[in-house]
Amino acid sequence: MILPINLNVSDLLVKRGEIPLIQSFSVNLVPHDCCMLTGPNGSGKTTLLRTIAGLLKPSGGKVDLNTDSESKPMIAYHGHQDALTEQMTVIENLIFYQKLYKSDSGQMDSLIQKFAIDYLNQPVSQLSAGQKKRASLCCHFLTKASLWIFDEPATNLDQNSINVLTQEIEKLKDSGAIVLIATHSPQIYSYISNLNVSLEP
Amino acid sequence: MFNFLNREVKAIIGDSSLISSVLIYFIIAISVVNFVLSGMTSMIAVIAGSVFSWIILLLISVNFGYQIYFRDFLDGSIDKILLSGCSLMLFMLIKLFVHWVFIVLPLGILSALNIKILLNSPLSYSMIFSLAVFSTFIIACFISFSTLIAFRAKLGNMLLGIISIPLLMPLLIFISAVSISQQLPYNIEAIFRILSGSCLVLLVVIPFINSLIIKEVGE
């Protein structure tokens, strides 16, 4: 069960050194919203997503996650890196995240089937970029978050995996989560996103 | 807790390049020490051997310790652990413990064995062994937070080097202990008490500081 939240970003300012990367950015998102973030390289998409996730401190403005419940809403962030331990096998990584997120093994098995991960016992260091990405997404979807942030999730994926990814994102959206996706391929998510924000460098 | 422990142990055992680099470095360094000690009188050799062994441990900790802490930043898993709501302090404590058990402590024991075999001095052997147990933990603690600060501040190894200067403290304590023990052996107990006390304090303080560094210092 996903905890419904509202995301309010107001007048956000993020600087790197003295250079402002994001200026006066505001957005309000409610449950079932899927926001697509586009823009050329260096426009600050990743910085914005990391700030909204709470991984970077803004220089100004506010990021609020409002909920009626007293429990703290969870955020799921999928960045450029795969977040897999190279020295461990795929299944060991999956079990680590399953325990970390306290999700059930049935959910993990279902995701393994969907993403067609038939290399469970291979060390991550021996996988191709696409295989790593699929395993990484599988780990990511084990979370039970209210706000889902994806930074170019379709990179290195084949068409079948992209279809599974968009289906999973659509499910999240339908279940009441807020989804934020940064991408250079807006056509992939155009049918699930209801908001498109374009950033300029 | 066991989830983190399991992950860290697998990661460090699976990192064959790290283990082999550390061992090669250690073997080369200890061979040079043994060569130098062979030309010394027994008293000076005990002190010099102990000091050299400490310097080797220090260098190994500085040169290889950072890899264990960088891994989570480089592969992005630190972001997921941060957002998962689990205890970051516990995570840092386990990282510290595994780094100490698998890298620093075995080399401390090997150094002690080397001195024992080379000099056949029961006093220096027992001293190095005991001090290795306590002081290598202090080294591991300092390495962990100086590495995190250096990484977060993006100032690289220069800052790491400067912040690691306190690592010399156990070395100085050790030199004093060796010198004093030649005349007043009971003073060693006081040194051990100081070291074990420091370890206990660091056991609480360092993971706390590390988790604050990760949470509070922006990129």
pLDDT of residue B155: 46
ipTM above 0.90, yes or no: no
CA B151/CA A60 separation, integer angstroms: 24
Strand order in the sheet with A34-38: A75-78, A147-151, A178-182, A34-38, A195-198
Put simply, the answer to whether A77 touches B83 (Cβ < 8 Å) is yes
Phi, psi angles (nearest 5°) of residue B31:
-65, -40
Nearest CA among B42, B52, B44, B53 for reference residue B179? B44
Put simply, the answer to whether B80 touches A84 (Cβ < 8 Å) is no
Q: Closest partner residue to A81 among B11, B15, B76, by Cβ?
A: B76
What is each CA distance from B3 to A109, A125, A181, in whole angstroms? Answer: 19, 21, 30
pLDDT of residue B58: 65
Phi, psi angles (nearest 5°) of residue A193:
-85, 145
The string of pLDDT tens digits covering residues A16-65 is 777 888 888 898 999 999 999 998 888 888 989 999 988 888 888 888 88
Helix, coil or strand: residue B48: helix
Contacts A80 to B, Cβ<8 Å: 76
Q: Are B11 and A87 in contact (CB under 8 A)?
A: yes
Neighbours of B63 (CB within 10 A): 14
Helix, coil or strand: residue A31: coil
Put simply, the answer to whether B82 touches A55 (Cβ < 8 Å) is yes
CA A176/CA A5 separation, integer angstroms: 9
Percent above pLDDT 70 for chain A: 100
Put simply, the answer to whether B85 touches A83 (Cβ < 8 Å) is no
CA B185/CA B127 separation, integer angstroms: 11
Whether A96 contacts chain B with CB within 8 A: yes
Measure B216 CA to nearest chain A CA, in Å.
8
Please report the beta strands in chain A, taking only residues with DSSP state E, as ranges in sequence order: 6-16, 19-29, 34-38, 60-66, 75-78, 147-151, 178-182, 195-198
pLDDT of residue A58: 86
Measure A22 CA to nearest chain B CA, in Å.
15
Mean pLDDT by 10 residues, chain B (219 residues): 77 76 75 69 67 70 67 83 80 79 79 72 61 66 63 50 53 56 54 62 67 58
Put simply, the answer to whether B15 touches A96 (Cβ < 8 Å) is no
Measure A56 CA to nearest chain B CA, in Å.
5
pLDDT of residue B135: 64
Put simply, the answer to whether A57 touches B218 (Cβ < 8 Å) is yes
Work out the burial of residue B6: count CB atoms within 10 Å of its CB; fewer than 13 is exposed, 13-18 middle, 19 or more buried. middle
- A40-54, A82-96, A163-177, B44-58: least confidently modelled range: B44-58
List the single best residue of A15, A78, A80, A81 to mutate versus B (max B Cβ within 10 A): A81
CA B135/CA B128 separation, integer angstroms: 10
Q: Closest partner residue to A88 among B7, B74, B218, by Cβ?
A: B7
